[in-house]
Every structure is written in structure tokens, then in C-alpha cells.
Chains A and B, each alone.
Chain A
Amino acid sequence: MKPPQFDYHAPGSIEEAVTLLGSYGGDAKVLAGGQSLIPVLNFRLARPGVLIDINRIGALSFIREADGGVAIGATTRQRMIEGSDIVGRRAPLLADATRLIGHLPIRTRGTIGGSLSHADPAAEDPAVVTALDATMVALSKRGERRVPASGFFRSLLTTALEPDELLVRIEFPPTPAGTGTAFVEISRRHGDFALAGVAAQVTLAGDRASEVRLAACGAGPGPIRLAAAEKIVRDGGASAASIEAAAAAAAAGVEPTSDVHASAAYRRDLVRAMTRRALERAVARAAGGTR
């Protein structure tokens, strides 16, 4: 369980990092919090010739309000996001989800950009950006490229990032007034990857659900937007019957696989339960004004 040999670079600036990526491209791996990459290296499941450690680039770590929403630098630690007032106000769903990521030591090292770039289908961050239609901003020597969440996750552990591109920040859109959020997941043990999890954001306008956003994790090769379920609640309102129907639609719309922790059928069943709970909680928060 020792990594194979690699060359190591620790650039001090974004420009330097992008230049290194430009010259090494596919032979390089970017090291952020290391919560996924280091085990992968130790198991020799990846053999990059070069490791580009971006932890020393201060300009990649920030949380700021932007265009009514929030922009977060790629190496911002999940622990910082968890405790951020800005995130709590501007992207409460992300705050809900971040609390469920791993354990405190993991969140203290783990970064949002690392989680999104790694694209583990059971991870929380990919489901949140998918639900919220956040924008991933990638930089290379060729320039900046903005990739919507809907086009970012390609397949298992694979994103739209090109080998020479560095994910530099994530932009979350504004959260409308009257919105409630919830991230609900179930895992074998506290802190494990979810067997299934659902991110929900519901905006109420009177009796109507004017905006409904739902995404699942742990239920397919990547995060899955639960569009059919969203439509049911948007059209039918936040009644118990509507939520139950949406939960059923969510379960029908995912593509889980079986592994040592759960069968595909069980995961699908859990998506139903998690969707129902996430919607109930988000609606209650929207109605109560507590998000």
C-alpha cells in the first residue's frame, strides 16, 4: 500500500498550476485535499507520472457572494463551507449536504473542487451542484471555460474536465425567497458514503411549489437530476399525495447498481424513501421560513 513513484510539483499560483497541467496533461493528477486520490495512489489504482499539489495556491480558497449567489474556490475545505454564513444564507442546500460528508477530519482536508473533480457517484457535492444547476469554472492555458453541472458529470468518476484544465471555482445561483432545502441520506455507518441520498430544494409561492429541484446520489453512475419527480411537485403542489408520487417517480428514474453494501433494488427503494423525506423536510422549512 505504497504509491508508485511520481514527480511532485507544488505551484504557488493558478497560472503556474495551469502551465504545469498544460505541459503534463494526461500524465498529471491534481492533488487537493487528497481524501480520494491518496488511497487511489496507495492502492496503485492510478499511476500518474506527475502530481500537481494545488494546496499552496491561496487564490483557490474563498467563499464570496456573487451575482446574488455564491462563488466558492476549488480548494475551499468542506469544513469552511460547513461553517460559512454566506453559504448558509445563499446556498443552504450546500450547507445541509456538507455536514453529511465523511467525518470532521475528512471535511477538514477535503475540498469541494476535489469532490466534484473526482465525481464519486455516492458523494454529496456532485448531487448538490446538479440540483442547483451550479456552474463549474475550468481554466487552462487556452482560457476559461464555464461548464454547467448538467454537462459536467460524464460517467463513473469521469467529468468534462480536459486533461489540461483545472477546476478553479464553482458558482451557485441565487436562492429565491420562500425556499426550503434538505439533504437526506442513508449510510451503513455515520460518515460513510450514502447508500442513497437526495438533495431537495423547494420554493413555495402560496399553495404552489414554484420551483422544485431534486437530485440523487448513490443511485447511478453519477449524480442524477430527478426531473420527473420535480415536475410532479411543481404541477401538483406539496401535498402528501404529490410527494408520495414524486418519490415513486424518483425511484423509477434512477439507475443504481449492486455492490457489497446494497443491491440495486434496495438502493432504488431507498431513493423513494429519501426523496419523500427530503421533500417533506424542504417543504416544511420553506413553509416555516427556516430553509
Chain B
Amino acid sequence: MREITGYVGKPLLRREDRRLLHGEGQFVGDIVLPKMVHCAFVRSQVPHARIKGVDFAAARRAPGFVTALSGRDIRNVVTPIAGMQVSIPKGWRDRFHYHIDVPAQQILADDKVNYVGEAYAVVVAEDRYKAEDAAELVEPDFEVLEPVVDVDRALKPGSPVLHAEVGSNVISVMSTKKGDGAAALARAKHRIKRRYYHHRYAAMPMECRAVVADYDIRTDSLTVWSSTQVVHWIRKEIGSILGMPEERVRVIAPDVGGGFGGKGHVYPEDVLVPYLARTLRRPIKYVEDRFEHLVNSAHARDNFHDLEIGFDDDGKIVCIVDDFVIDSGAYSPVGATCAANSIAHLLGPYDIQNYEAKGTLVATNKTSNAPYRGAGRPEAAFAMERAIDIAANSIGLDPILMRLRNMVPPERLPFSVGLPYRDGVPITYDSGDYPQALRRAVEELGGLENFRRRQAEGLAAGRYLGIGVGCYVEGTGVGPFEGASVRLDPSGKIMVAVGANNHGQGHETVFAQVAADVWNVPIDQVVVTTADTAAVPMGYGTIASRSTVTAGSAVVHASAKVKDKVLAIAANMLETPTADLEFRDGAVGVKGVPDLKVTLKEIWWASRPGWDHKRPPDMEAGLEANHYYEPPTVTWSYATNAAIVELDPDTGRVTVEKFVAVHDAGILVNPLLADGQVRGGLVQGIGAALYEEIAYDENGQILMGTLADYLLPTADDTPPITVIHQEIPSPSNPLGVKGLGEGGAIAPPCAITNAVSDALRPFKAEFNATPVRWEQVRKVFAEAGVSTPRGRG
């Protein structure tokens, strides 16, 4: 174990807990402003229609009505957010064949609606009840169009095309390769091709999205509170679309009840609500309800991977060729990120020399598809990890042993993969021990041999047990940058602000731990601000498992700039060379002389502008610095998840007996919060494997409109989970940290489908699609004529 000398590494409770647990959290929904009005969006009930007109006559007569707008009313006034909200660096573009032609979504649909739930009008009224009453009275004149309800239909000649400006339903294609996949496949002793489908589901935060906006006429400025992960992105869009200097737009994410990627980009409401506030000169509130969240906030996954694996008699993988299609829904606001991630992560922790991958994004009349915790990695891991199990079983090799034969051994790290990451830099797995993670996970389940014995004994008694693992690597802490601002306050407190956005992770605690160690002050001397554009000039946001890596490093670097000045002033005050000084307990003191010191508060007073300061000659006043940390590239987290399941032959019920994750996120700044992050992700991944699903019918109607239909795993349904952290430091950043926000959610779907398939090996059943439905499991037993032995039901 590493010795913990400071705050980094300590399992501190969250600073945020007090207010959150006392019901004193301040969410967007809690904000009440004088003269505030409320809006309700009028959302399409059909998946595809041309808008011929929108009639507000009846709505205008409703009690409490304030105003209403259709897409046409704002067409040239509130222009769309860019179709793709992220940029792609040259290093990536050079190595990929691609075309990306992602359409922009109108702020309110004006020509066509493209999915059930797309807003084509907004109604403002004195309260939300009245707004909904008036919204009901809005009469659309729609010419209903044939919907494109799946990718097969979308790709067929003669299919309706969603976006005429693109000209086809293919809105992006990208491909890359290393070695020669086709030739290697031709030479491979064994090859197995399957279609692996990772279904459609969504981030389902406890707090839905919400926006409150307030316009100040005196300063011509907007203050916007949004339940978001990316305040700076929202500021940028509001500034450019509404024609305001960004400095006059302040975006704040107060307490946010979960994001998971679903709040990781700018939505039309983030721009329209501030526009209405400015137009009406009244504060305005929009709080999305759960139905709206299900139909209009981004969905995720929905990938078909046609993956072929080539391998030899020993189980050594010689090539992977994957051709996958993503059902993007109507728009793709974060563009091709998930596809790029899938391609970059598909090879996982394995050393595979030949690889070809191609991803195609297809538009359909469904809710937009955007990154959700894992963002391209769960689908890639699912295809790869199922393929390995199927391949291993085909040659009578245990799937766990086949993985060990193919993993990159620790002595070969750093390991160059031979592909570019989405930041354009060639992928290098920087640190870790992949085989150890796998071995530890299986040991935690009682060991492989022991399990195989249990499994055989169970089978003899009519019990169906299975073991499954899922292994992955995850690039984390991606750029382009993150900002931090560090300032010494006259009180002597260290004021830290980060561009990262806190939505439950405990950033106020974690960055205080980092800063307290950097400054060697008691942690109570650090004040942290997150998710406020007024606090940091430039920021990026909390997405992509990046905040501890990027914002943490920015805090370290910004602190260093301020500390240099503090040290120089202290040297001047103490008349001692800086080399003889040290930061200790909220002061700068002379090494070896405990009583000779000046406190940070005294140093601030010595630094102030004006007369009688004690700065060295030529030093400017001001103890503050911004730093924009631009990571050289990502750092590589990884994990093995492992599960034991038992299947009930009578009903097909899947019971997860035990679930283990061995995870490496480098140095853990706060092991308690790290554990919670991984565990939360695992539960979401278990939800994806067994419960959560968004389905559409053949007419393009969404079938899940409530949380009684969209099933989230509850505590009752969560199996016993063990999380083990392998803390192998990253060499890539000053803290030695790797990201861990998303990791938990990546591998449960493959671990559980592998375990279910393992339990059903006597019947040669393969589960190559998620979620695992009990009904399908039961079907396997029913066809085999198997039922639960008497008395065990």
C-alpha cells in the first residue's frame, strides 16, 4: 500500500453531503425568481411529419397564457446549434477514412418533425399547469410521412430520407485499420462471424433536465441555470446564437442530480429558454418531466456489430474485422464520438496485430442517440467479449484462459496499439496489469476450477450456473483542455474554481483534496467552485471520464503559478532565500525553524496593490492564476468484470449471484468516492444487461413513457458487488490519476451475457444481443424440455 501523507488518497466524506442529505441541495427546479413564467413544449406525437402550420388560436385564449412560438416564428432568429458539437483533430482525420455529415436540429422543428417527442412549439404561461393546459390546445397541421423505424429500412433504396440536406440516411461513415485484417482472416485457422446487438437505452438521471433564465436589461446580460454537464458549451452557443458577448452570459449548473452523459451536450431548450427570457424581460423556467426526458433527452447505444474473429488452434487471436451500424435516431449532437470510441476501444486489453473496423451512423425517426456512460465502449466490449467466448468454446478452450493468452502482459507496457485515439495521438496503453485484474476477479468469485466443479455438480442436480467475464480498456482524461482558476483570498483561503461540472461525483471534495495537498493547508482552507462560467474564463466540462485527470492537473498547474509568487513574497518578508522555505500548515516557513513563518493571510496582505506592500521589486500585484491543462493524450484505465449467474429453468429468471469488478484508475484521490463511482456504473451496466430498454413499435411510436415501463435496477435488484481497485499510477499526469467516471458501466452487459451463455452451454445457446430477457432464457429451457426440479421453485 502507498503511504497516505496528505489528503489525496483519503476516503473523505463529500463536502456536498451535508446539504444534499439535509434536503438543502439547490437544483434548477428549486430556483424561484420574482415574476417568473413557465414554459411547456409542444412535442410531436408522430415520428415523421411535414409541418404545414401550427395554430395557437385556442391556446391564446387559455387562462394564464403569456406567449407561444412555433419553429417558423423563430426560424431566422434563433438559429440551430451546430449539428456536431465536438471537433475532430487533424491527427485523427489523417488516419481515418471518413465522412461526417451530421444534420443540425432546429431549435423548434419548423419544416418537419423527425421523432416522437420533438418540440415544434413552445407555450409560456403563468405556471406550468397553465402552460400544459394551453399547450394541449395547440393545433398542428401535419402531413404525416412514412417513418424510418430501423436501420435496415433506412439503408434500403427507396427509403424515406430524414434529412434532405444530407441526401441519404447515412450521416457518417468512418473506418481505419492496422495490419491486414482481410488477409489475416483468410489465413486464420478458425474464423467466426456473428451479429452482436447492443440495444437502445438511456442515461436516466434522477433529476431530469431543467433550465431557468433571467435577463438583466441594465447590463444586457443573461444568467442561465441549467442542469447540465457542460456550462461553458452552453455559454458559447447562447453567445453566438443570441449575438451576445460570452462575458455577458453566465451559465451555472447548481446541484445536478446526475448526468451520465445525457446532459453532456447543448440541447435546444438551453438556448430557447434564455431567448424567451430576453424577449419577455421576465425570468422563465423549464423543468423537463420524466415523459419528456424519455422521449426527448438523448438515448444511447443501439449498435449492430457484424464482427468476425480469426484465431488459431491455441486460441491466439490473429485478426478482428468489425463492420458496425449505429441507429443514430434523428440527430447526433455529439457526432461520431461513439463510433470513434468503439473503433479505438474494440481491441481492448489484447495484443491483436490485424484489425479493420468501419462504423456507419444511420438516421432514423427516433430520439437522438448521444454518448451515455461508456460512449461507444460498452458496445465494442460487448461484441469483442462475446466473440472471445464463442471462439474459445468452439475450440474447447475456457474463455477465461483464452483471454489470458491474448492479453498484453504488464512487461510490455507502455504498449503502442497502432491506432490513433480520437484526440489524434497514437494510442499507447500507459500503465497497468491486465492479466492480474482478470485473475483477481475470477479468484474473488472462488476461482475458475472451483466454479467449474460447482457448475458440473449443479448441472447434475438440475441447476444452471454460469460464469462470465468482461475485460476492457478505457482511454480517459481526454482533451482538448480543462481550466482551473486558483486565487489566494484576503482571508488566507485558497479559492479554487474548475471548468469541470459537478453532478454528484463530489468535485467540491476531490479538488479540495488536491489543492490542500498542493498548498499543504488544512482542507477547510480550500474553497471550491464548480460549474459556473463566471468563475473560470474557459472550461470544457465533465464528460468522458476526464475531470480528475484534467481539472485536477489544471488545479496543480494553476496553483504552482500562484505558489511561485507567494514564495517570493514570503522570501521578501522573511528575508530568507526561497530555497530555504516550505509550505506548511497554511503558512510559508523557514525549513527547520518552526516558529519562523508567515501565514498565507499575511502573505496576501503583503501582496496587495498599493502602498506599503512587501512584494519583491518588479512583481505585479495579484495572487491569482488560470491554467488551461491540455493533456498530452489520454491515460488508460481498465477493468475486468466477472459474474456468476443462476438461471431458473421454469421461468428463465436470471439471478446474479455475485458480481466483481477489478478496476484500475491509477491513484485514487478519494477511494470512497471512487468506489461509489465504479459501483454506480456497475449498477447501470447491470440495468443495461437485464432491465433497461427503449423500444419502438413498427410505426415508430416509443413504447416506454414512464419508469414503470423503463425499468431501472433498484437496490432490491442489485446483486452483491465487490469492487477491487488496482492502484497502478498513470505516468501521464502530475497526480498519477486515470479517469473512472464511465468505467463501471462498460462491462456488465458482456459479463452477464457471457455468464448466461455459459450456463446454457449444454444447449449451445448464444446470447448475442442485449438485454438478456428471461423470456428468451425460458425459451431455451422449454425447447430442451427442461423445468425446475420439484420443490425448488
Q: For chain A, residues 96 to 150, give those with C-beta under 8 angstroms from any C-beta of chain B.
A: none
Task: Pick the residue among A5, A186, A189 that contacts B651 (CB under 8 A).
Answer: A186
Using Cβ atoms and an 8 Å threshold, which residues of chain B touch A44? Answer: 136
For the complex, what is the distance from the CA of A192 to the CA of B710, rounded to whole Å? 12
For the complex, what is the distance from the CA of A262 to the CA of B653, rounded to whole Å? 13
Contact A270–B716 (Cβ < 8 Å): no
Contact A186–B791 (Cβ < 8 Å): no
Q: For chain B, residues 685 to 719, give those with C-beta under 8 angstroms from any C-beta of chain A.
A: 691, 693, 695, 703-706, 708-709, 711, 713-714, 716-717
Contact B791–A273 (Cβ < 8 Å): no
| 0/1 interface trace, chain A 264-277, chain B, CB 8 Å (1 if under) | 00100110010011
Please classify how large the interface on chain B is, using the bins under 10, 10 to 19, 20 to 34, 35 or more. Answer: 20 to 34
For the complex, what is the distance from the CA of A269 to the CA of B653, rounded to whole Å? 13
B650 and chain A: residue at smallest CB distance: A273
| B132 on interface, CB distance cutoff 8 Å | yes
Using Cβ atoms and an 8 Å threshold, which residues of chain A touch B704? Answer: 260
Contact B691–A1 (Cβ < 8 Å): no
For the complex, what is the distance from the CA of A280 to the CA of B791, rounded to whole Å? 8
Known: A2-B128, A189-B691, A191-B714. A260 touches B709 (CB 8 A): yes
| A12 on interface, CB distance cutoff 8 Å | no
Contact B714–A190 (Cβ < 8 Å): yes
A260 and chain B: residue at smallest CB distance: B703
For the complex, what is the distance from the CA of A1 to the CA of B41, rounded to whole Å? 12
Using Cβ atoms and an 8 Å threshold, which residues of chain A touch B713? Answer: 189
For the complex, what is the distance from the CA of A79 to the CA of B633, rounded to whole Å? 57
Contact A189–B717 (Cβ < 8 Å): yes
B779 and chain A: residue at smallest CB distance: A266
Interface centre among B709, B775, B787 (most CB of A within 10 A): B775
Nearest chain A CB to B502 CB, angstrom units:
27
Contact B695–A260 (Cβ < 8 Å): yes
Nearest chain A CB to B453 CB, angstrom units:
29
Nearest chain A CB to B312 CB, angstrom units:
41
Question: What is the interface size of chain A, counting residues whose CB is below 8 A from a CB of the partner?
Answer: 27
For the complex, what is the distance from the CA of A188 to the CA of B774, rounded to whole Å? 9
For the complex, what is the distance from the CA of A138 to the CA of B711, rounded to whole Å? 36
| 0/1 interface trace, chain A 184-204, chain B, CB 8 Å (1 if under) | 001011111100000000000
Using Cβ atoms and an 8 Å threshold, which residues of chain B touch A263? Answer: 775
Contact B653–A186 (Cβ < 8 Å): yes
Known: A1-B291, A43-B291, A263-B775. A190 touches B793 (CB 8 A): no
Contact B717–A240 (Cβ < 8 Å): no
Nearest chain A CB to B473 CB, angstrom units:
32
Nearest chain A CB to B222 CB, angstrom units:
27
| B220 on interface, CB distance cutoff 8 Å | no
Contact A189–B133 (Cβ < 8 Å): no
Q: For chain B, residues 114 to 161, give those with C-beta under 8 angstroms from any C-beta of chain A.
A: 128-129, 132-133, 136
| A4 on interface, CB distance cutoff 8 Å | yes
For the complex, what is the distance from the CA of A192 to the CA of B711, rounded to whole Å? 9
| B290 on interface, CB distance cutoff 8 Å | yes
For the complex, what is the distance from the CA of A192 to the CA of B714, rounded to whole Å? 11
Known: A5-B133, A270-B651, A273-B651. A280 touches B714 (CB 8 A): no
Using Cβ atoms and an 8 Å threshold, which residues of chain A touch B691? Answer: 188-189
Using Cβ atoms and an 8 Å threshold, which residues of chain B touch A270? Answer: 651
Q: For chain B, residues 741 to 793, give those with C-beta under 8 angstroms from any C-beta of chain A.
A: 774-775, 778, 782, 787-788, 790-791, 793
Task: Pick the residue among B651, B706, B709, B716 that contacts A191 (CB under 8 A).
Answer: B716
For the complex, what is the distance from the CA of A273 to the CA of B782, rounded to whole Å? 12
For the complex, what is the distance from the CA of A263 to the CA of B136, rounded to whole Å? 34
Using Cβ atoms and an 8 Å threshold, which residues of chain A touch B703? Answer: 260
Using Cβ atoms and an 8 Å threshold, which residues of chain A touch B788? Answer: 273
Contact A1–B290 (Cβ < 8 Å): yes
Using Cβ atoms and an 8 Å threshold, which residues of chain A touch B716? Answer: 189-191
Nearest chain B CB to A27 CB, angstrom units:
18
Sample of 9 further A-B pairs with CB below 8 A, known A2-B128, A269-B782: A1-B291, A3-B129, A189-B711, A191-B716, A262-B775, A263-B775, A269-B778, A277-B650, A280-B790
| A interface residues with partner B (beta carbon < 8 Å) | 1-5, 39, 43-44, 186, 188-193, 240, 260-263, 266, 269-270, 273, 276-277, 280
